[in-house]
Amino acid sequence: METTKESNGGQTDLAPADLEQGLTGALLGYHQHEAWTEESGRQPPRVGRVPPHVRSVDGGEAYTPKFVSIGPIHHADETLRMLSHKLKLAYLHALIARRSAEPLDDVDVLTALLKCKAGVAVHEEKARAFYKEDVAGLAVAFSSEAFVEMLVLDGCFLLEHMLNYATGVEEPLLHRTHWSPSLLHADLIRFENQVPFFVLADLLLLSPLSRDPELEACRTGRRDFLRSLGVHYLLRKDDEDLKTLSSSDDVYHLLHLYSLSLTEARLRRPAGNAGWGARAWRTLWKLPIVSLTPVAYLLCSGADDGKDKEEEEARMPNIPSATDLQRVGIKFKRAPRQPDGGFLDVRLEDGDTLVIPMVNIEQFTAPQLQNLIALEQATPELPDDCSCYAFFMDNLVANPADVALLESEGILKSNLGSHEAVVTYFNKLCRGNKLELEGHYLRSVFDTLMERNRNPMYAWIRTLKKKYFSSPWGLIAMVVALFVFASTVLQTYFSVVEYYY
Of 459, 465, 387, nearest in space to 426 by CA: 387
Output the CA–CA distances (angstroms, integers) from residue 385 to 16, 135, 241, 435, in the order listed: 50, 30, 20, 10
pLDDT per residue as tens, the chain (501 positions): 344 444 444 444 545 555 455 777 777 766 665 655 554 445 677 898 988 888 887 778 889 999 999 999 999 899 999 989 999 999 999 998 876 666 778 888 888 899 999 999 999 999 998 998 766 666 556 888 999 999 999 999 999 999 999 888 889 999 888 889 989 999 999 999 999 999 999 998 888 775 666 666 566 556 688 888 898 898 877 766 676 788 888 899 999 999 998 888 787 665 555 445 545 545 554 555 555 555 555 554 444 444 444 444 444 457 889 998 888 878 899 987 654 557 888 888 887 889 999 888 887 778 889 999 999 998 888 888 898 899 899 999 999 999 999 999 989 988 888 889 899 888 888 887 777 666 678 888 888 888 887 776 766 666 666 666 666 666 677 777 888 888 888 888 888 878 777
Q: Is the CB of residue 174 less than 8 Å from the CB of residue 181?
A: yes
Q: Give the CA distances from residue 459 to residues 36, 260, 296, 302, 304, in Å, rounded to whole numbers and listed in that order.
A: 63, 40, 9, 12, 10
Q: What is the pLDDT of residue 39?
A: 45
Helix (H) or strand (E) holding 180: helix 180-187
Q: Give the distance between the most distant pair of CA atoms in the chain.
A: 125
Which spans in 1-142 are helix H? Answer: 16-40, 52-55, 78-96, 106-121, 124-128
Question: Read out DSSP for 285-296?
Answer: HHHHHHHTHHHH
Residue 355's contacts (CB-CB under 8 Å, 6 or more residues apart) are: 333, 334, 335, 345, 346, 347, 348, 349
pTM: 0.78
Given a contact cutoff of 8 angstroms between Cβ atoms, the answer to whether 411 and 332 are in contact is: yes
The pLDDT assigned to 149 comes to 94
Q: What angle do CA 383, 272, 288 make, to 5 degrees?
A: 115
d(CA 232, CA 237): 5
Q: Is residue 262 within 8 Å of 342, Cβ to Cβ?
A: yes
Residue 4 forms beta bridges with which residues? 14
C-alpha span between 493 and 305 (Å, rounded): 39
358 dihedral zone (left: phi>0; alpha: psi -120 to 50; beta) = beta
